[in-house]
Structure 1
Amino acid sequence: MFLSFPEYFEVQEFWLDQFKGLFRWMMFAFSLPVVFYAGIDYLKSAYKGVTSGVLNIDIPIALGIIVLFVRSTIEIVFDLGTGFLDSLTGLVFFLLLGRFFQQRTYAYLSFDRDFKSYFPIAVTRLLKKYGQVEEDQVPIYKIEKGDRLLIRSGEILPVDAVLLSDKASMDYSFVTGESDHITKYLGEVLYAGGRQQSGLIEVEAIKNVEQSYLTSLWSNDVFKKKRHSSFQTLVDRISKKFTVTIISVAVIGALVWLFINPLTAINVFTAVLIVACPCAIALSTPFTMGNMLRIYGNMGLYLKESVIIERMSQIDTIVFDKTGTITTSSASQIEYKGEPLNEKEEKNLASTLRGSNHPLSRALYNELKKNDILPALDDFKEVAGKGLISRIDKEVIKVGSPSFTSSQATQEEHIETAVHVNYNQHYKGKYTFKNKYRTGVDELFERLSKDYKLHVVSGDNAGEKEHLKDLLPSGVVLKFNQQPEEKLNYIKELQSQGARVMMVGDGLNDAGALAQSDVGVSIAENVNVFTPACDGIMDASILGRMDEVITLSRKAVNIINWCFILSLFYNIIGISIALSGNLTPVMAAILMPVSSLSVVAFTTIMTNYMGRKFSNKTSQN
């Protein structure tokens, strides 16, 4: 542009006149990589659109680039003027800048990783040779049915297998999102994906990796589907009308000028195509969504791509997983109901619990233990699947299930998570374990229920159904005992009824539902640890402001609509000047960047304003 200034402002100076031709050819040389390298993708996209009969947004952009370059080249070659090459360069620059904003992602996060990336590369296989058992490191994809495997503490089981050791404690939070460990006994089936937490165990593979239960969760076609942005469809729809309208206006304008001044006709035709380039329309979406990606990231919501924001603005139904999503990963709340236990009875109970490795026993022991010295056990026995029985002096303590402790529990009490206590053949009471819900969940659901249909879908039993009914507003649909496939099908069913669904989950068992939903958001206490395939990863600390996050997406869409109106305003002004035959290079050099800059400035100011309002509320809270 600096090389064009002397001619723009008609500076009369001897040396400038001498080098005017050189400056023009220098601008021409500088424009070649702009058109044939930086702008080549727009030309290719336009060509593909024309050959396939689709008028996409790149066609009017490519038309503007070609007309700018061809007319400028003719003017320079025949010494007719300086051309519009500076306007051409500015146009391509802003378009590429918009593309950069739109393609911004969080490279340090993985939104599409699957379970295999967390499996060990190899596992220890036990082989019998000459009567001796040898250990052999084998890649997991070579494991076959019948192979005996040695699984060390902390390792993830890569295949479905039968337990050959007496007992194992399995952590399936990697798969289910549920934090409690599960105790398995000799002969029971262990499913792939569980992390082994009880020392060294031996198992026998009953399936290979490709046929395991965990792999079946990932084989659903939902993980292969591609989503399309309706905003992209909107822009393309606008571009169809825009292209036809602009070419029609250019042709009509040229025909009119043929009767007035034939020499001006070609100038009017090209001027309309130059000034009406839809760069402002093309810039509004990437700059708005790009800014929103950054703002969401500062909040603690990391989205896979910018089109997720648009889809989020359209949802009308939200489905929440329970454990790990609206509950915390911290210890459960433990309440005692029954006859009060005296200090001696509590100590005897704590001493009994200390001998067990069951997750509920450990949790209750940690709740009851004090700095006092606990009495020694005279006898102790753990009955698989039922509970514990111990003897201290002449006192007999039973801890475990309702039937094991002679409790007259109701059907509802049988499905709740509880440890029952029997002391000397007399039933005392029970310790119930309730999930600890995230702060503000009840208020969040109350606000969301005004605008959205809400569902809670959990793989847990219905033990907390009544508690959730009291905690959450009426109208929230509660579904329990839902397997991963059932969660996915539930989302499908809602969508078949016309709902636009956001799924909020955390575990691998939510992966299918997250992928099937229109927007899948994974809640994470730490965004760098495992999360299933999803559209976005949300820091658990801002879950209570989910309603504001969705509202921001709707406001972002409104900003884009206002940008379309602003772009239309500039096009009307530019086309009016072009039709009058008075469009000069300096006018184009001013009007085209101003239209682009105004759109960029408008969307940047508005999105940053929204982001600051959200941040201010966060600091106040």
Structure 2
Amino acid sequence: MNAPCYHCGTLVSPQNTLQFDKRAFCCVGCKTIYQFFTDNHLSDYYRFDANPGAKPSDASIKYAFLKDQAIVSSLLEFQNEETSIITLHIPHIHCSSCIWILEHLHKISPAILRSQVNFLKKTVRIVFQPKLSLFELVQIISNIGYEPRISLEHVDAKEKPVDRNLLYRIGVAFFSFGNIMLLSFPEYFEVGEFWLEQYKSFFRWLMLGLSLPAFLYAAFPYYESAFYAIRSKRLNMDIPIALGIVAMFVRSIVDMYLDHGAGFFDSMCGLIFFMLLGKLFQQKTYEFLSFERDYKSYFPIAVTRVNDDGGEAVVAVYDINPNDIILIRNEELIPVDGILLSATAKLDYSFVTGEQKPVYKQSGDKLYAGGKFYGATVKLRVSQRISNSYLTQLWANEAFTKNKRAAYSTITDRISRYFTPALLGLAAISFIFWSFTSLQMAFQVLTAVLIVACPCALALTAPFTLGNVLRILGSQKLYLKNAAVIEQLAAVNTLVFDKTGTLTTTSSSALSWKGSFTEDELVAIKSAVYASNHPLSRLISNELLGLKAEDLSDFKEFPGKGIEAKHGNTNMRLGSATWIGAAVDTTTHATAVHIEIDGIYKGSITFSTLYRKHLPELFHKLANDYQIVVLSGDNSSEKATLASILPASVSYHFNQKPEQKLNFIKKLQDEGKTVLMMGDGLNDAGALMQSNVGLALAEDVNVFSPACDGIIDATVFEKLQAYLKYSKNAMRIIYGSFTISVLYNIVGLSFALSGTLSPLVAAIIMPLSTVTIISFVTIMSNVFARFKSK
């Protein structure tokens, strides 16, 4: 008798079996992989799944092109002297064992630093040391049975081929559904013509044959998902769906055999069709929303481009083309790959590599997108257009999702914990109850319960609603990381706002100068503030618009304190009075930047803050439903002004350093608050990541921060209350659609538990419930989006 290979599951005859460690293997390669895993303490690989592996392949010839350094450079996402990063597509990824072994590659080779699997996309992102070549890395992966799919079209960055498997399944299900429904009409209406009686048996067998492609092929993903869920001892919505499909198929065969009717073949194929159609809708929705697909709409990042005449213009990052020259200021994220034109640059690639180690580059060196620049302004010649999928990966990086948000469960997950066991319990009770009367009736009731209570509508509710809401919010300039953020947004009860750059506008302000400054000193000040992205620095830079910023020989920015810079032989410090060491004017508490040049205090710049339009109206609306906190790194000079225009319930905390902001958010959460933090994305990364929802406000600078959950355009700041209300309404839509689905189930179960469920009733109720849910959530999510007209 043939036995399966312990590693890959291939059936092997006894005479061709290789025995090792009391286990059977189909070939030397599988045996070698098993021995390798065992020797390297990776034998847990076989505990997650039976026969999870694949036969190893010889990569030495197939991937010989990876010895070409030009091709390797095109494939790598990031490369420097210490780290290389690549994402490989591996078709064989199919189970928890695959995830486990691919995320433990570092045990195979110490040069592999980290690896992270995206199960849905069947990709693994690998961070490794350059001493391990890409060719050697691919050989390692191929030798353990996970041959990556790499073609030269990846070098040209062509669009990934569309996976048509789902479309094929929908087509098969629709073909089966339509034809079986057509053949079922005579039996529905009990037409008694002679031809029906004559060919009734033939039609039923034909319906059975037509249902097999849908049952065996189209519905296979639900069986697979249910199987893996049961094996991992967890419950999901696919378990009752798979049970319902199997129950309909078995019940239909029994009914046909006992001549009780044509069965539920039409309802089964209709269910499969509508479920797959819902999955396609969800997929298309997320593709539409996907930042990888249309970054022009969803990354409102601006960058300063140097024009041919030497002038500068702030342009959207997607308008940057190869050979353009752009300026990168202190703490800005580099959005594109390019060549450094300035003498030196200090970069932080922790967003990319996870290592907070400064990297120093010289003129002519290649800079990769994703690095955060520190220091005086540098110029960069763009080598290629924005790599948006790369920025998306930064936003979805494990470092920014593995904290408290990773433990957040979606509404579908929470409901499935109760729905699935409740359904199985009800089916078991009804079977036991009816078994005392008739085993045949008990079987009919059992299958009827599983058929009617199949949670297809429940499973579609959240994806349809949240997908449509994401699309609408995106069109209104609120760009959220994923659908889960909507659920968290709806749960928020406390709002925390940074002041400078968030409540205040950086586009204009009234400045008052104290002290005497020569033109050279003003040029030096302009050069210093021009290199900074702090809102006050931008205001000063705009005030000195007539002067041209020049290169600095040294530049340092201290969050919450100020700037140190050197322009020629002039040393400057600009910042708070306490940091500069200037005497504090007790007669006024206005926000001011004090200036010290070559150790001599020269004066200060005082700001008359201009707040965003409609700020008082917005806060008075928000105060009715939320606790509001203003958290600022500035002094309390504006407290009286804010108190006069904002609701009395707003609390204020000034002179807050970045770490104090983060700790304040933690304190609120410890008190049971669900916190939304809104900042400018520059100095608030820690607080944004700590909050339940972190929103970065985008105005006219590069504010992309992987720590945030969303980006809101400054032009729609006054719509924040409408967005929050809309997120709550989105959850109400979901709960409403759940209610509708439950009502349908109650009606169906009343037939099922009484043993009177007919194929006609099932054929009407099941598609109708799905269509009703889809229509309800689509219409209501658009009806509630009334803020679009405001």
2:450 to 267, 270, 273: 273
CA offsets, 1:492-541, max 9 Å, x none?
22211111111222325333322322222222237997343432222222
CA offsets, 1:318-375, max 9 Å, x none?
1223333333342x41244889xxxxx9xx98797467534389966965899xxxxx
Partner of residue 41, structure 1: 221
| SS of alignment partner, residue 583 of structure 1 | coil
Establish whether residue 334 from structure 1 lines up as the match of residue 510 from structure 2. Answer: yes
Establish whether residue 600 from structure 1 lines up as the match of residue 787 from structure 2. Answer: no
2:765 to 563, 585, 591: 591
Q: Which amino acid aligns with 2:606?
A: T
Distance 1:325 1:533 in 2: 17
Distance 1:295 1:402, change over 3 A: closer
Distance 2:398 2:453 in 1: 48
Distance 1:473 1:144 in 2: 42
Structure whose alpha-carbon radius of gyration is higher: 1
Distance 2:702 2:359 in 1: 34
Partner of residue 32, structure 1: 212
Q: Which amino acid aligns with 2:480?
A: L
Distance 1:5 1:407 in 2: 90
1:518 to 681, 692, 698: 692
Establish whether residue 540 from structure 1 lines up as the match of residue 710 from structure 2. Answer: no
Distance 1:52 1:313 in 2: 31
Establish whether residue 359 from structure 1 lines up as the match of residue 359 from structure 2. Answer: no
Distance 1:546 1:275, change over 3 A: same
Distance 1:319 1:606 in 2: 30
2:501 to 311, 324, 336: 324
| SS of alignment partner, residue 572 of structure 2 | coil
What TM-score, normalized by structure 2, do the two folds share?
A: 0.55
Q: Which amino acid aligns with 1:513?
A: A
Q: Which amino acid aligns with 1:333?
A: S
Partner of residue 246, structure 1: 426
**Same amino acid, percent of matched pairs:** 41
Establish whether residue 384 from structure 1 lines up as the match of residue 571 from structure 2. Answer: yes
Contact 2:332–2:703 (8 Å) recurs in 1: no
Contact 1:527–1:539 (8 Å) recurs in 2: no
How many Å apart are 1:145 and its aligned residue? 9.7
Distance 1:592 1:365, change over 3 A: closer
Contact 2:222–2:241 (8 Å) recurs in 1: yes
How many Å apart are 1:239 and its aligned residue? 0.9
Establish whether residue 417 from structure 1 lines up as the match of residue 592 from structure 2. Answer: yes
Contact 2:211–2:265 (8 Å) recurs in 1: yes
How many Å apart are 1:598 and its aligned residue? 2.4
Structure of higher RCO (CA pairs closer than 8 Å, 6+ residues apart): 1
How many Å apart are 1:587 and its aligned residue? 1.5
Distance 1:265 1:220, change over 3 A: closer
How many Å apart are 1:566 and its aligned residue? 2.3
Distance 1:96 1:536, change over 3 A: farther
Distance 2:676 2:420 in 1: 31
Distance 1:147 1:553 in 2: 42
Distance 1:327 1:483 in 2: 18
Partner of residue 437, structure 1: 611
Partner of residue 191, structure 2: 11
Distance 1:28 1:545 in 2: 55
Contact 1:325–1:505 (8 Å) recurs in 2: yes
Q: In the TM superposition, what are the counterparts of 1:210-359 in structure 2 within 5 Å?
A: 226-229=406-409, 231-255=411-435, 257-258=437-438, 263-330=440-507, 332-336=508-512, 353=522, 357-359=527-529
Contact 2:665–2:687 (8 Å) recurs in 1: yes
How many Å apart are 1:222 and its aligned residue? 5.6
Distance 1:329 1:70, change over 3 A: farther
CA offsets, 1:458-493, max 9 Å, x none?
445555455444443334333445444443333222
CA offsets, 1:436-464, max 9 Å, x none?
43211222222212221222334455554
CA offsets, 1:562-581, max 9 Å, x none?
33332232222212222333
How many Å apart are 1:283 and its aligned residue? 2.9
| SS of alignment partner, residue 548 of structure 1 | helix
Partner of residue 487, structure 1: 661
CA offsets, 1:163-221, max 9 Å, x none?
xxxxxxxxxxx99xxxxxxxxxxxxxxxx623643779xxxxxxxxxxxxxxxx99689
| SS of alignment partner, residue 784 of structure 2 | helix
Partner of residue 108, structure 1: 291
Partner of residue 248, structure 2: 68
Distance 1:507 1:585 in 2: 58
Q: Which amino acid aligns with 2:239?
A: I
What TM-score, normalized by structure 1, do the two folds share?
A: 0.69
How many Å apart are 1:610 and its aligned residue? 0.7
Distance 2:358 2:481 in 1: 41
Distance 1:311 1:588, change over 3 A: same
2:787 to 602, 609, 614: 614
Distance 2:541 2:234 in 1: 68
Distance 1:89 1:381, change over 3 A: closer
CA RMSD of aligned residues (A): 4.9
How many Å apart are 1:409 and its aligned residue? 5.2
CA offsets, 1:86-134, max 9 Å, x none?
211222233334444556432226799999874757768999xxxxxxx
Establish whether residue 57 from structure 1 lines up as the match of residue 241 from structure 2. Answer: no
How many Å apart are 1:615 and its aligned residue? 1.9
| SS of alignment partner, residue 242 of structure 1 | helix
How many Å apart are 1:608 and its aligned residue? 1.8
Contact 1:287–1:604 (8 Å) recurs in 2: yes
Distance 1:305 1:102, change over 3 A: farther
Contact 2:428–2:446 (8 Å) recurs in 1: no
Distance 1:349 1:473 in 2: 44
Partner of residue 570, structure 1: 744
Distance 1:501 1:384 in 2: 42
CA offsets, 1:547-603, max 9 Å, x none?
121112222222222333322322222122223333221111012122222233332
